[in-house]
Amino acid sequence: MTDAKLEDRIFARFDGRAGPSLAGLCGNLLADQKKTWPDLAAGHEALAAVRLRDIPCPGFSVRVQFNPQRIASSTARVDSESIRKRKCFLCPGNLPPLQKGVLYRREYLVLCNPAPIFPRHYTISSLRHIPQSLEEHLDGLLLLAEDFSEDATVLYNGPRSGASAPDHFHFQAAPSGAIPIESVLDEKGRKKRIRRVDGASLSWGMNLGRTALIVEGSDARGVADLTLAVISEMKKISREPGEPMMNVLCSHGKSGWRVALFPRGRHRPDMFYRGGDEQVLISPGAVDMGGLIITSRERDFMVLDSERVQAVFREVSWDEEKTAALVRALQGKPPRTLKHSRNRVNKMEALS
């Protein structure tokens, strides 16, 4: 896409220097797009009608959202052949004619999601058509969370773990506190410390029904190192090519960063593929792993119960054996900083 055409897509710019906050610019973008882009306005009107209910499970609970407009994302075909045949819907040149965004630090375009889960739901898309790979963009995750401050939580779905566009790198952002696990992790006894290094700590989430590793700290490099250490050990244990399957939530507040990483064993649970009344269309991403399960059919919304929720998490998360091996590895070895990621952290800090 030429610079001239990209210019037509830019509603505002954020470079980290003096000026409006990122949250403020994105709020202005959302208000403008509701007026100028009918599809977005319709998506937010539909959001007002979504239904919610809570499901208690042993040791934890989840919230279920019935959101029919999420059907395309929940059932997206993400095999290589399907991706090859369709245009990338996140490339700036392929965006809907009326869609605009906030240019973020000259690397990403913050876009309003036209099928929102939240009142403020953004997709943060790379200007380049490159595949999902968190190691290469961990700096962007941490900096985005810091720039959104306490207004938003940044989400990452791995290429085989819920990303509907695995071929084009992107994050998402949701209102801070909108995903249940954010408050759950503040409860006493929910985290067991594994290790602490360089101004950051690594913990194991307890009694959540799925595996979660939590990195917290006020030092960006320490948080990055521990997060990279988790990903590195996951690669060794999973023994699969490419990035290990995972979902990530990242927030930033007065105490610094919190990165919640969910190792994944499968893309979708068995019930997604069953026929007839046995089928339940749940395709977990970061939001679902965070405790807000999205259903796009009313029947699925109604039949989902504690037993089915536990089965979803059990089937798509890491099992006890893998999790125990991961915890042992992280207890016994120092974090290994990936040089290319450290250089990118330095680069992004230079833009601040």
pLDDT digits (tens, 9 = 90+) for 312-336: 999 999 999 999 999 999 987 655 5
**What pLDDT does residue 351 have?**
46
Question: How does strand 101-104 pair with strand 10-14?
Answer: parallel
Range with lowest mean pLDDT among 54-68, 70-84, 258-272: 70-84
**What pLDDT does residue 85 have?**
80
The 3 state secondary structure assigned to the chain is CCHHHHHHHEEEEECCCCCCCHHHHHHHHHHHHHHHCHHHHHHHHHHCCCEEEEEEECCEEEEEEECHHHHHHHCCCCCHHHHHHCCCCCCHHHCCCCCCEEEECCCEEEEECCCCCCCCCEEEEECCCCCCCHHHHHHHHHHHHHHHHHHEEEEEECCCCCCCCCCCCEEEEEECCCCCHHHHCCCCCCEEEEEEECCEEEEEECCCCCCCEEEEECCHHHHHHHHHHHHHHHHHHHCCCCCCCEEEEEEEECCEEEEEEEEECCCCCHHHHCCHHHCCCCCCCHHHHCCEEEECCHHHHHHCCHHHHHHHHHHHECCHHHHHHHHHHHHHCCCCCCHHHHHHHHHHHHHC
**How far apart are the two ends of the chain, measured CA to CA in Å?**
26
- Topology adopted by domain 3-267+318-337: HIT family, subunit A (3.30.428)
Range with lowest mean pLDDT among 117-121, 179-183, 238-242, 249-253: 238-242
**What pLDDT does residue 338 have?**
39
Say how far apart CA 304 and CA 69 lie, in whole Å.
19
With a cut of 70, say whether residue 25 has pLDDT above it: yes
**What pLDDT does residue 104 have?**
97
**What pLDDT does residue 164 have?**
85
**What pLDDT does residue 259 have?**
98
The pLDDT-based confidence of 148 (bands split at 50, 70, 90) is: very high
Query: What is the per-residue pLDDT across 90-142, written as a single tens digit (0 to 9) for each?
Result: 999 999 999 999 999 999 999 999 999 999 999 999 999 999 999 999 999 99
Question: How does strand 60-66 pair with strand 51-57?
Answer: antiparallel
**What pLDDT does residue 334 have?**
58
Range with lowest mean pLDDT among 45-59, 63-77, 143-157, 200-214: 63-77
Query: What is the per-residue pLDDT across 182-229, written as a single tens digit (0 to 9) for each?
Result: 999 999 999 999 998 878 999 999 999 999 999 999 999 999 999 999
With a cut of 50, say whether residue 68 has pLDDT above it: yes
